[in-house]
Amino acid sequence: VADYFFGEIPHNPVGTIYASRKEAATAGVHRVTVQGISGNGTVGADSISVNGGYEDDIDLGDEIIYTGAGGNDPSTGKQIADQSLTQHGNAGMVVSEENGYPVRVLRGFKGDPKFSPPTGYRYDGLYRVNRHWSEIGKSGFRIWRFQLFRLSPQEAAPYIPAENVPAGQARPERAVGVASRIIRNTDVTNWVKAHYDYACQVCDTQLVLPVGMYAEGAHIRALGRPHDGPDTVDNVLCLCPNHHTLFDLGGLYVDRDFRVRDKDGATLGPLYRRSGHTVSAEHLQYHRTHFGYGE
Ligand SMILES: [Zn+2]
């Protein structure tokens, strides 16, 4: 784990130039000297190199369509075999996507001249992985593609993995963008999801993916206007996507005795709670009131 570090590297601001991959690796900006992706399916991916090594890469500056690792002839950049999502750093990219981890981007002199340095390598800031998909690339082999967007300076705060319960933010900051939206606090939702081993607190289902388990952190009292709920663990439930949607849209609620009920009041069972995680009765009451389920 010590080999990976998410976020900005101190004393290496955006625009820093490195003479070689080795120099960038020593600085900690991109810690591998050959591979395009630094990371794995356990910790996530903390950086990538964009240097024209893959024929299917598309560099648009603030947006990058990045080709996964594997199946590539390094001398020509052409694909000569299928890629696998679980191989190399590809699984790390998925973990970073699911968790919202920031990914450092290092651009090299062989990349698209519009966005790349004329010589050497340049640290170009933090991006997030927006989505991934599979398709057949230019040379006829299956490739995995990752769409990355550059993070705004407000979003690009350093990510520090938390070992203990994170304090969270009583009043989450807003990012200025096309629409006002809440910055995802990955420490808080990650902690709750891990605390329940990614099992839904309503149905106990664990969704198992090729690269790990999936659950969603559901805010009981929603973030953002007009609810202005806090981003703290007592305001977050670990839910499967179905129960998250039902909860967010008022299709189910939790009563005073922590029983889960549907819109007609029928009991679906208890809300699973594990010791160490206090679920706020006050926020559950706010949720009930908001959807007209009385006190
Ligand atoms: Zn569920």
One-letter amino acid for residue 58 of the chain? I
Q: pLDDT confidence of 172, banded at 50, 70, 90?
A: low
pLDDT on residue 156: 56
Phi, psi of 287 (to 5 degrees): -60, -45
pLDDT on residue 173: 55
What is the Cα–Cα distance from 240 to 197, expressed in whole angstroms? 12
Residue 179 Cα to ligand 1 midpoint, Å, equals 30
pLDDT, one tens digit per residue, over 56-68 is: 899 999 999 999 9
Q: pLDDT confidence of 154, banded at 50, 70, 90?
A: low
Q: pLDDT confidence of 152, banded at 50, 70, 90?
A: confident
In the chain, what percentage of residues exceed pLDDT 90? 55
Average pLDDT score, the chain = 86
Residue 199 Cα to ligand 1 midpoint, Å, equals 8
Residue 245 Cα to ligand 1 midpoint, Å, equals 10
pLDDT on residue 66: 96
Residue 208 Cα to ligand 1 midpoint, Å, equals 13
Mean pLDDT of 74-100: 88
- The alpha carbon of residue 236 and the mean position of all alpha carbons in its chain are separated, in whole angstroms, by 17
Overall pTM surpassing 0.85 (yes/no): no
Using the predicted structure, report yes or no on whether residue 175 has a pLDDT greater than 60: no
Residue 128 Cα to ligand 1 midpoint, Å, equals 27
Contact 124, 24 (CB under 8 A): no
- The alpha carbon of residue 192 and the mean position of all alpha carbons in its chain are separated, in whole angstroms, by 15
Residue 242 Cα to ligand 1 midpoint, Å, equals 6
pLDDT, one tens digit per residue, over 16-64 is: 999 999 999 999 999 999 899 999 988 899 999 999 888 889 999 999 9
What is the Cα–Cα distance from 202 to 242, expressed in whole angstroms? 10
The CA-to-CA distance between both ends of the chain, in Å, stands at 47
Mean pLDDT of 229-242: 93
Using the predicted structure, report yes or no on whether residue 288 has a pLDDT greater than 90: yes
